[in-house]
A and B are shown apart, each in its own frame.
Chain A
Amino acid sequence: MKTLAIYSNKGGVGKTAAAVNLSYLAAQAGARTLICDLDPQSSATYYFRIKPKLKAKARGFTKVGRQIENSIKGTDYQNLDLLPADLSHRKLDITFDHLKRSKHRLEKILEPLQDEYDFIILDSPSTINLLAVNIINAVDYVFVPLIPTTLSVRTHAQLLAFCKKHHYNPRKIHPFFSMVDRRKKLHRELMASMSEEFQGVLQNPIPYSSVIERMGLAREPVAVFAPRSAAATAYGNLWAEITERVFLAGQ
């Protein structure tokens, strides 16, 4: 069993698109996969045509157990389930802060699900607070989408500083390039320099693509409605790099 988070402290960088598409690829390869939508905006939940609602007692993740499991929905795809988002996720931070072992709440929530799934993939909101601490504590790998811009370099440096402060192993963090426009010289240059500056940057970028934007209309992973698109290929390559390089290196 492996737990992954797609995480960034910056918004609009392609987190949800990556979480949805990578989860789909994991499930298609035969792994029992659960995607957890932690974002109150509930985009991942929407992409799977599921209602953003948890069972009453599961809201706020204050209790572990049946209510969480009963909130899980099967998606339209084999091996792939989803724990829907909920409006209450807006206040997860505050809720966790009032509970014991507040930095490990999420870990505790996921624990009982570990036997049931080969992969648990978290789609997280853009935040760098107690929820971020919980996410990083709960997972084995953090995948961070980076848009090759100067601003992104800054935010990623912030994230690494944050990890240092909390004594997280920086090897947990795996950046990958997102929304890349190869026609832009700046993008190409920044990708090269960021690969040098930051450790473990994955080499298969996700392009900026109208196909990915169309996910909102199609409400399906790109590999389903545009299997031959460049975007579908890019997610495929990225997932292959993750399974072949990241997971194997971790063993």
Chain B
Amino acid sequence: MDNLKFNLPHGYGVQQLVDELAGHYPVKKEEPLAEKLAFYDTFDWRLYQAGLMLSESAGELCLSQLATHQILQRQKITPLPVFVKDFPDSQLKEQLAPILEMRALLLLVEIQTHSTPYRILNQDEKTVAWLVFEEIKPAGGKEAAGQVWVKPVRGYPKELQQVANHLQIIGCSPAEKDAYLLALEAVGRQPGDYSAKLNIRLDPQLRADEATKVILRFLLNVMKRNEPYVKKDVDPEFLHDFRVAVRRTRSALSQIKNVFPAETTDRFKQDFARIGRLSNDLRDLDVYLLAEDTYRAMLPDILRNSITPLFNYLREKRAEARQKVVAGLNAPEYARVLHDWEAFLAEPPLDSPSAGNAALPIIQLAQDRIYKRYRRIVKSGRQILENTADEQLHALRIEGKKLRYLLEFFAGLFPADEIETLLKQLKRLQDNLGHFNDLCVQEQYLLNVVEELPLNGPSARKTLLAVGGLIGSLDQQRQRVKGEFAKTFTAFASASNRALFQKLFAPEKKEVAE
């Protein structure tokens, strides 16, 4: 059974509560315990989303269930590593690795707790439940908050329930939040307040220009939240999320057609294209460096270490690329674009907008855009099935990405489970096309980088061999991925999927301007 936590009745002290209970059960006080606790999670709340919390006290890390505080793993690690790859091998590492992946652990909040345990005994003076009075104080917070926990002893569920019922009779109310959540609240953080996923609620009847601004404001917020961490270089996902938001912004500007004046759209499309380009090199290098272990594993044993000079070189290049990005983000040009953009998004809607689709209800425009994009993909895909050229696969990937963004922007307008189905299908296709594209780009990149790779010493030739080996391995993969396209696409263009697209998006009447 879960731990049960309660707030004391107003004006009630813990001693009063214990006295009250002592009328029904023998109660025995134990030594109080003072503890300093620090809580960690990733920027996008991966542990919280997985129903977990990670705390540290006196150098000991403790992973527990969020809901029950049941301890899953504990381990002494000092100092605490930022990345899971730097943890010593252990069950804790195994459990964290698939959740945290490449993300950095950030300190969220520190608290002081002072807890006094009381044993609830039966007639044999056996402990059948625990009552723990816990006072918590967030570091830098003003007030301490007090809570009472009823904690179970295995095998005594009836007694636990009796004590919990008693507390409610006395007037204790069940507490929604535990120390962790209260502490987060005290420092102004809300769990789940950042997610890389789009979650935009739109009223279907909202004017298209207004609705588009809602989407764009959401994306601007993602950029602004990630930007400081991009500059600090905390982990590569900050840049990734930042770039995705920029790309989605550009996509929204060109995909959601005729909702703003053309010159405004054009200007910002160019501005955001420049901002995107700023970090192209850095992102590419991040991708190669994140895949370092995978690349090494592709090579035969005898060449596995010979690839090291390549990665050392990429790391040097990354340092340069990073400086370029930081300089770009600190430049007045970037600040000006963001300022103008924010001002534009804050403008009230025009009474008589010039753009043809501005005053349409957003649902109508969304349906039109998605349906057209879907049909175009099916048509292009069918042509590729007959004659597969790499360039066409690349073009199809871009089309697919546009459709995916549209579906994500407007997901809130349609039944969640159906959108989910479509996105899942599309994701399978995009994964295939994306993988194919990555492999093409990587092969080409390695071929180019060899030209500039500074090579000297006796192992230089071996390094070249290793790069060659890598290209060979990537090329084999590329052929295989290409071979899977037909099956993946046929699944995407299936009759049932088509019926769903038709049902959700097919137009009843045509009055949308191109």
Contact = CB atoms under 8 A, between A and B. Distances in A.
Does A associate with B in a complex?
yes
Interface of A: 48-51, 70-74, 76, 81, 219
Contact of B154 (A48, A51, A81): A81
Interface of B: 119, 124-127, 152-156
Contact residues of A: prevailing secondary structure: loop
Contacts of A74: 127, 152-156
B59 to A, nearest CB: 15
A50 B119 CA distance: 15
Contacts of A76: 119, 126-127
A48 B124 CA distance: 10
Contacts of A51: 124
Contact residues of B: prevailing secondary structure: loop
Q: Counting chain B CB atoms within 10 Å of each CB, which of A48, A70, A73, A81 scores highest?
A: A73
B154 A50 contact: no
Q: Counting chain B CB atoms within 10 Å of each CB, which of A48, A49, A219 scores highest?
A: A49
Contacts of A219: 124-125
Contacts of B152: 74
Nearest to A71: B155
18 contacts: A48-B126, A49-B124, A49-B125, A50-B124, A51-B124, A73-B153, A73-B154, A73-B155, A73-B156, A74-B152, A74-B153, A74-B154, A74-B155, A76-B119, A76-B126, A81-B154, A81-B155, A219-B125
A48 B155 CA distance: 13
Contacts of B153: 73-74
Contacts of A70: 155
A51 to B, nearest CB: 8
A73 B129 CA distance: 12
A76 B154 CA distance: 10
A81 B129 CA distance: 14
A48 B127 CA distance: 10
Contacts of A50: 124, 126
B147 to A, nearest CB: 21
Contacts of A81: 154-155
A53 to B, nearest CB: 11
A59 B506 CA distance: 65
Contacts of B126: 48-50, 76
B118 to A, nearest CB: 13
Contacts of A49: 124-126
Contacts of A73: 153-156
Nearest to B125: A49
Nearest to A46: B124
Q: Counting chain A CB atoms within 10 Å of each CB, which of B125, B126, B152, B155 scores highest?
A: B155
A49 B28 CA distance: 16
B154 A72 contact: yes
B61 to A, nearest CB: 14
Nearest to B122: A49
A46 to B, nearest CB: 9
